[in-house]
Amino acid sequence: MSTEERAALSEAHIAVHWREEGYYYPPAKFIGQANAADPAIFERFSEEHFPECFKEYADLLAWDQYWHTTLDTTNAPFWKWFVGGRLNASVNCVDRHLAAGRNRAALIWVPEPEDEPMQVITYQELYRRGNEFAALLRHFGGVEVGDRVTFHLPMVPDLPVSMLACARIGAIHSEVFGGFSGAACGERIADSGSRILVTTDAYYRNGELIDHKLKADQALARARELGVEVDKVLVWRRHRGEYCSKTPMVEGRDFFVDDVLRDFRDQLVEPVSMPAEAPLFLMYTSGTTGRPKGAQHSTGGYLAYVAGTSKYYQDIHPEDTYWCAADIGWITGHSYIVYGPLALGTTSVIYEGVPTYPDAGRPWRIAERLGVNIFHTAPTTIRMLRKLGPEEPKKYDYHFKHMTTVGEPIEPDVWRWYHDVVGKGEAVVVDTWWQTENGGFLGATLPALHPMKPGSCGPGALGIYPVIYDEDGGIVEAGAGRAGNICIRNPWPGIFQTIWGQPERYVDTYYAKYCRDRSSTDWRDWPYFAGDGAVQAADGYFRILGRVDDVINVAGHRLGTKELESASLTVDEIAEAAAVPVIDELRGRAVEMYVSLKPGVRTSPEIEDKVAKVIETEIGKIARPKNVWIVPDMPKTRSGKIMRRVIAAISNFSDVGDVSTLANPEIVDDIRQQVQAAKMARGELPRSLTAEEAEEIRAFGHLE
Please give the Cα distance from 226 to 221 (Å, whole number): 9
**Contact yes or no for 152/161 (Cβ under 8 A):** no
**Contact yes or no for 283/296 (Cβ under 8 A):** no
Task: Tell me whether residue 106 is exposed, middle or buried, using C-beta atoms within 10 angstroms of its C-beta: 0 to 12, 13 to 18, 19 or more.
Answer: buried
Judged by beta carbon, residue 386 or residue 679, the one nearer ligand PRX is 386
| Listed ranges 258-266, 487-495, 541-549, 564-572: which one lies at the site for ligand PRX (CB under 6 A) | 541-549
DSSP character string of 650-686: HHTT------TTSS-THHHHHHHHHHHHHHHHTT---
Judged by beta carbon, residue 348 or residue 404, the one nearer ligand PRX is 404
**Contact yes or no for 218/181 (Cβ under 8 A):** yes
Q: How far is the CB of 36 from ligand PRX (least distance, A)?
A: 19
Q: In terms of DSSP H, where are the helices of 482-604? A: 503-510, 561-568
State the CB neighbour count (10 A cutoff) for residue 255: 18
- Residues 6 or more apart from 606 whose CB is under 8 A from it? none
Q: How far is the CB of 376 from ligand PRX (least distance, A)?
A: 11
Closest CA to 178 of 198, 195, 192: 198
Q: How far is the CB of 322 from ligand PRX (least distance, A)?
A: 17
DSSP character string of 217-263: HHHHHHHHHTT----EEEEE-SBTTB---SSPPPTTTEEEHHHHGGG
Judged by beta carbon, residue 80 or residue 547, the one nearer ligand PRX is 547
Give the DSSP H or E segment for 582. Answer: strand 574-584
Please give the Cα distance from 420 to 209 (Å, whole number): 35
Q: How far is the CB of 486 from ligand PRX (least distance, A)?
A: 9
Please give the Cα distance from 511 to 144 (Å, whole number): 33
- Give yes or no for residue 544 binding ligand PRX (CB under 6 A): yes
Rg (CA), the chain: 25
Closest CA to 164 of 67, 95, 235: 95
Q: How far is the CB of 438 from ligand PRX (least distance, A)?
A: 7
- Give yes or no for residue 553 binding ligand PRX (CB under 6 A): yes
Determine which residue in the list 11, 525, 532, 692 makes contact with ligand PRX, applying CB under 6 A: 532
Q: How far is the CB of 379 from ligand PRX (least distance, A)?
A: 8
Instruction: Write each residue from 234 to 273 as x if it is in contact with ligand PRX (CB under 6 A), else as -, in one continuous string.
Output: ----------------------------------------
- Give yes or no for residue 407 binding ligand PRX (CB under 6 A): yes
Determine which residue in the list 212, 383, 402, 547 makes contact with ligand PRX, applying CB under 6 A: 547
Judged by beta carbon, residue 488 or residue 577, the one nearer ligand PRX is 488
Q: How far is the CB of 699 from ligand PRX (least distance, A)?
A: 12
Distances (CA, A) of 33 to 182, 322, 474: 46, 16, 42
- Give yes or no for residue 150 binding ligand PRX (CB under 6 A): no
Closest CA to 444 of 590, 305, 583: 305
Which 423-482 positions form the footprint of ligand PRX (CB under 6 A)?
Answer: 431-436, 457
Judged by beta carbon, residue 331 or residue 464, the one nearer ligand PRX is 331
- Residues 6 or more apart from 639 whose CB is under 8 A from it? 1
Q: How far is the CB of 327 from ligand PRX (least distance, A)?
A: 11
State the CB neighbour count (10 A cutoff) for residue 343: 25
Judged by beta carbon, residue 376 or residue 489, the one nearer ligand PRX is 376
| Listed ranges 182-190, 388-396, 407-415, 652-660: which one lies at the site for ligand PRX (CB under 6 A) | 407-415
Determine which residue in the list 186, 329, 459, 546 makes contact with ligand PRX, applying CB under 6 A: 546
Judged by beta carbon, residue 272 or residue 430, the one nearer ligand PRX is 430
- Give yes or no for residue 285 binding ligand PRX (CB under 6 A): yes
| Listed ranges 122-130, 421-429, 551-559, 565-573: which one lies at the site for ligand PRX (CB under 6 A) | 551-559
Q: How many residues are given for the chain?
A: 704
Judged by beta carbon, residue 331 or residue 507, the one nearer ligand PRX is 331
- The residue type found at 607 is I
Please give the Cα distance from 652 to 371 (Å, whole number): 42
Judged by beta carbon, residue 157 or residue 440, the one nearer ligand PRX is 440
Closest CA to 106 of 177, 169, 161, 31: 161
- Give yes or no for residue 559 binding ligand PRX (CB under 6 A): no
Please give the Cα distance from 6 to 150 (Å, whole number): 40
DSSP character string of 95-119: GGGHHHHTTSEEEEEE-SSTTSPPE
- Give yes or no for residue 336 binding ligand PRX (CB under 6 A): no
> For ligand PRX, how many residues bind (rule: CB under 6 A)?
23
- Give yes or no for residue 310 binding ligand PRX (CB under 6 A): no
Q: How far is the CB of 332 from ligand PRX (least distance, A)?
A: 5
Judged by beta carbon, residue 101 or residue 451, the one nearer ligand PRX is 451
Judged by beta carbon, residue 277 or residue 431, the one nearer ligand PRX is 431
State the CB neighbour count (10 A cutoff) for residue 555: 20
Judged by beta carbon, residue 279 or residue 546, the one nearer ligand PRX is 546
Which 511-530 positions form the footprint of ligand PRX (CB under 6 A)?
Answer: 530
- Give yes or no for residue 408 binding ligand PRX (CB under 6 A): yes
- Give yes or no for residue 332 binding ligand PRX (CB under 6 A): yes
Judged by beta carbon, residue 338 or residue 406, the one nearer ligand PRX is 406
Provide the CA 90 distance to its chain's centre, in angstroms.
22
Closest CA to 140 of 195, 86, 193, 88: 195
- Give yes or no for residue 334 binding ligand PRX (CB under 6 A): no
- Give yes or no for residue 10 binding ligand PRX (CB under 6 A): no
Q: How far is the CB of 518 from ligand PRX (least distance, A)?
A: 25
Judged by beta carbon, residue 435 or residue 654, the one nearer ligand PRX is 435
Ramachandran region of residue 252, left (φ > 0), alpha (ψ -120 to 50) or beta? left
| Listed ranges 8-16, 317-325, 400-408, 671-679: which one lies at the site for ligand PRX (CB under 6 A) | 400-408
**Contact yes or no for 254/233 (Cβ under 8 A):** yes
Judged by beta carbon, residue 140 or residue 351, the one nearer ligand PRX is 351
- Give yes or no for residue 381 binding ligand PRX (CB under 6 A): no
Determine which residue in the list 222, 386, 558, 645 makes contact with ligand PRX, applying CB under 6 A: 558
Ramachandran region of residue 600, left (φ > 0), alpha (ψ -120 to 50) or beta? left
Q: How far is the CB of 578 from ligand PRX (least distance, A)?
A: 21
Alpha-carbon dihedral 409, 410, 413, 417, rounded to 10 degrees: 180
| Listed ranges 20-28, 147-155, 416-424, 552-560: which one lies at the site for ligand PRX (CB under 6 A) | 552-560
State the CB neighbour count (10 A cutoff) for residue 211: 14
Judged by beta carbon, residue 331 or residue 350, the one nearer ligand PRX is 331
> Do β-strands 483-488 and 528-536 pair in parallel, antiparallel, or remain unpaired?
antiparallel
Please give the Cα distance from 499 to 28 (Å, whole number): 44
Judged by beta carbon, residue 132 or residue 408, the one nearer ligand PRX is 408
Q: How far is the CB of 126 from ligand PRX (least distance, A)?
A: 25
Determine which residue in the list 184, 304, 406, 615 makes contact with ligand PRX, applying CB under 6 A: 406
Contacts with ligand PRX by CB under 6 A lie at: 285, 331-332, 406-409, 431-436, 457, 530, 532, 544, 546-547, 553, 556-558
